[in-house]
Amino acid sequence: MLIEPASHICTRYDRQRKHDADGAKINRTRKQTRAAPSRAFLEIDLALDRPVKVFSLHISGLSVGLQPEYPVKRGSQDLLISCLSNGSDRATTRAVSEQNDAKIGSIVSLSADVVDVVCEKMPPLRRALRTEAGVILEVHQHLNDTRLRAIALDRTAGLRRGMPVYDTGDTLRIPVSESVLGRAVDLLGRPLDGKPPLVSTESRPIFAPAIPLNAAQPSNQILETGIKVIDLLAPFARGGKTGLFGGAGVGKTVLMNEFMNAVVSLHAGISVFAGVGERIREGHELWQEMTESGLMSTTALVYGQMDEPPGVRFRVAMTALTYAEYLRDTLHKEVLFLVDNMFRFVQAGSEISGLLGRMPATVGYQPTLMGEVAEIEERVLSSRAGAITSVQTVYVPADDLTDPAVEALLQHLDTVVILSRAQAADGIYPAVDALQSSSRLLDAAVVGQRHYEIAKAVREHLARYRELRDIIAMLGLEELGEIDRHIVQRARKLQRYLSQPFNVTAHLTGITGATVRLEDTLRDCEDFLAGKFDSVSESDCYMRGMMPR
């Protein structure tokens, strides 16, 4: 044990009441000295209630006991992960870990999902703790020198005051292997699909730094989706981040599912889906659809649904991202990382912030909002080993794009797709707002001059039509000039042409899904703008793939 020079030592005194074995009270004065490199502790005991190894060092005639940090056996976390990956319940987890984790204290307070623990030695923030009942806790706050506040990552039924708490020796770790493909698991990697546990010999922490910038690959290549309006006006970046923004009921989840279907079928990639705070019914339907379509074998589903504690909903996206990083680094393939819904992640963070007693910030959101969002978004990177392309749905409260949660997410994205309620009301799906949606890749230097000019002309036609809608409603189309009349007619046909039947909804609509190549979309839009389809009715442009030749 090292003792730092006096110049490096900060000294602090506190008075503490403690009961000895016979129930009598004794006073102890603790002189705690902290040294940055060694974290050594000097403890002066006026009345020792337990043996402390004393060295030949005296301060003012008092013996000073040098007490090292409490021991943590290095195998405890691995055994705990092995137990979790084998689908064990709390009792089995407790039995396996009890002899390997170091006891650090006991529970003194329970309130909802917040657990206060009095410790002999304070573990660092984000450390995973285990209660005697098998519930995993995550350290979020140090209230003082001996008391911490943790958030439960499971239901707190069975916890009580005085229950022992053990340190696992690390942050939360999950079992990782290629066998996760085709499976549905929870935050801890335990199976949710009723199948045997994952076969895994390796574990990874869910908290990990982003890959170094010199190892990251730029995302300047278009990822074709076969969805006309997206490929034309808001192209997705291969290895980039895309957000699907919209209120309730405008088709965010359906659009994301179609994109997942397109990537798996067109690019032979693999998908990792994170269900964050959404309905378990939707998760079950997705699992069923993926199984019936044969795509489940290349997909991993990670769920933390709305009936779970906020700690689960807050961390399940990181579990899914850890699986995506593992598959990128081991399989060297295109990995599609999908999150539904990132707003629920922000909501869970807000709940935890309130439970921890933090003062709310703008519109009631947590003061740590920007950092929590950045912690996930900055890890979504492509390396030389493979690419991670992220698509995230974002619920927009009251259709307000200036909401702080929405703005915090917008600044991290390469492509922004805004879903319009007015478009959905007109029956045009996908309900993508062509004027508000944008992409960093829609530049002549990236997509080419032809694609850029066609997209620009389509937007100009749609914008002019939107300007003239009120005049048309009041006076009629015949009152417009000839040029404006042609623009409006072509814009209406373009608007309907950019609708499209989806493969994932074919069993509901009875319309066979269509996938259109970007080159076909560009050629059709060129012909619309040149007037070659002026004689075609609007209904013939609606809900179809490419135009007939």
Which of 376, 402, 436 is a domain's end point? 436
Query: 30 pLDDT band (50/70/90 cuts)?
Result: very low
**Pair 108, 232 in one domain:** no
What's the average model confidence in pLDDT over 227-253?
Answer: 92
**Pair 212, 336 in one domain:** yes
The dihedrals phi and psi of 548, each to the nearest 5 degrees, come to -70, 150
Catalytic: which of 279, 384, 450, 469?
279
Q: In angstroms, what CA-CA distances link 514 with 228, 290, 322, 423, 523?
A: 10, 18, 33, 20, 17
Cα separation, 471 vs 465, whole angstroms: 10
Q: Higher model confidence: residue 49 or residue 284?
A: 284
Long-range contact pairs involving 6-13 (C-beta distance under 8 Å, separation at least 24) = 8/35, 8/36, 9/33, 9/34, 9/35, 10/34
Residues spanned by the domain of 56 = 6-66
**Pair 330, 463 in one domain:** no
Q: Higher model confidence: residue 95 or residue 156?
A: 156
Query: 146 pLDDT band (50/70/90 cuts)?
Result: very high
Cα separation, 132 vs 107, whole angstroms: 10
Q: For residue 495, give the CATH number of its domain.
A: 1.10.1140.10
Q: For residue 89, give the CATH number of its domain.
A: 2.40.10.170
Q: What is the pLDDT of residues 96-121, one digit of tens each?
A: 444 456 889 999 999 889 999 999 88
Q: What is the residue type of 259?
A: F
Catalytic: which of 228, 252, 328, 493?
252
**Pair 89, 16 in one domain:** no
**Pair 194, 339 in one domain:** yes
Q: Higher model confidence: residue 241 or residue 17?
A: 241
Identify the DSSP state of 272. Answer: E
At residue 100, the pLDDT reads 55
pLDDT at 351 over 60: yes
Catalytic: which of 132, 224, 278, 325?
278
At residue 144, the pLDDT reads 92
Percent of the chain with pLDDT over 90: 55
What's the average model confidence in pLDDT over 49-74?
Answer: 34
Which of 143, 171, 199 is a domain's end point? 171
**Pair 206, 145 in one domain:** no
With respect to residue 236, please indicate whether it lies within any of the assigned structural domains.
Answer: yes
Which of 138, 171, 204 is a domain's end point? 171
**Residue 252 a catalytic site member:** yes
With respect to residue 270, please indicate whether it lies within any of the assigned structural domains.
Answer: yes
How many domains, in total, are found in the chain?
4
Q: Give, to the nearest 10 degrees, the angle between helix 369-377 and helix 342-355.
A: 140
At residue 316, the pLDDT reads 96
Range among 59-68, 281-290, 437-446 rated most confident = 437-446
pLDDT at 162 over 60: yes
At residue 527, the pLDDT reads 95
**Residue 195 a catalytic site member:** no
Q: Higher model confidence: residue 207 or residue 91?
A: 207
**Pair 211, 84 in one domain:** no
Between 288-292, 347-351, 403-407, 415-419, the lowest mean confidence (pLDDT) is in 288-292
The dihedrals phi and psi of 191, each to the nearest 5 degrees, come to -65, 140
Q: For residue 358, give the CATH number of its domain.
A: 3.40.50.300
Q: What is the pLDDT of residues 433-460, one digit of tens each?
A: 999 999 999 999 999 999 999 999 999 9
At residue 477, the pLDDT reads 86
With respect to residue 443, please indicate whether it lies within any of the assigned structural domains.
Answer: no
Q: Higher model confidence: residue 6 or residue 152?
A: 152
Mean per-residue pLDDT of the chain: 81
What is the rounded radius of gyration, in angstroms, for the C-alpha atoms of the chain?
A: 29
**Residue 74 a catalytic site member:** no
pLDDT at 27 over 60: no
